[in-house]
Amino acid sequence: MDIFDTFLNGIDSEKIRNKTKDVLGWVEKTFPKLEKAVKWNQPMFIDHGTFIIGFSASKKHLAIAPEIRSVEHFSNDILKAGYNQTKMLIQIPWDQEVDYKLLEKIIKHNIEEKKNVETFWW
């Protein structure tokens, strides 16, 4: 059983569950050194004990939660991709494609920025 199964099985909509599973699988495949975890009922990926990125699913969108500095750093790219953002979240509507190139840049940025961080959060 995968660590994310309980989270995924709790999503009622098959469409939302499958898209979320695809995104989590992509992160796992693209960044195999990241540790998978579920904290606060959110699947996330961790590097050397520090938070890199987390995900949650709502009725309207997939919420991607990198560190706030990454949201700020990639704010223009997030808007160009057509996604909404808050101070700490990127919101991808379920009917939009995931910009995996942007997601990869965000994750790489967090890994690099936090390579010497010894706490979970910044």
Q: Contact, 51 vs 76, CB < 8 A? A: no
Query: What is residue 122's predicted lDDT score, i.e. its pLDDT?
Result: 82
Output the average pLDDT for the chain: 96
For residue 107, give both structure tokens: 């994750």
Query: What is residue 1's predicted lDDT score, i.e. its pLDDT?
Result: 61
Residue found by looking up tokens 């010497």 in the block: 116
| This prediction's pTM | 0.95
pLDDT tens figures, 34-63: 999 999 999 999 999 999 999 999 999 999
Is the alpha carbon torsion for 122, 28, 38, 89 positive or negative? positive
Query: What is residue 112's predicted lDDT score, i.e. its pLDDT?
Result: 96
pLDDT at 72 over 80: yes
Which run of H or of E encompasses 62?
strand 61-66
Residues forming a β-bridge with 35: 46
Share of the chain above pLDDT 70, in %: 99
Q: How far apart are CA 105 and CA 91, in angstroms?
A: 16
Residue 7, classified by CB atoms within 10 Å of its CB into exposed (0-12), middle (13-18) or buried (19+), is: buried
Q: How far apart are CA 120 and CA 101, in angstroms?
A: 25
Domain ranges of the chain: 5-113
Say whether domain 5-113 belongs to CATH 3.90.1150.200. yes
Query: What is residue 53's predicted lDDT score, i.e. its pLDDT?
Result: 98
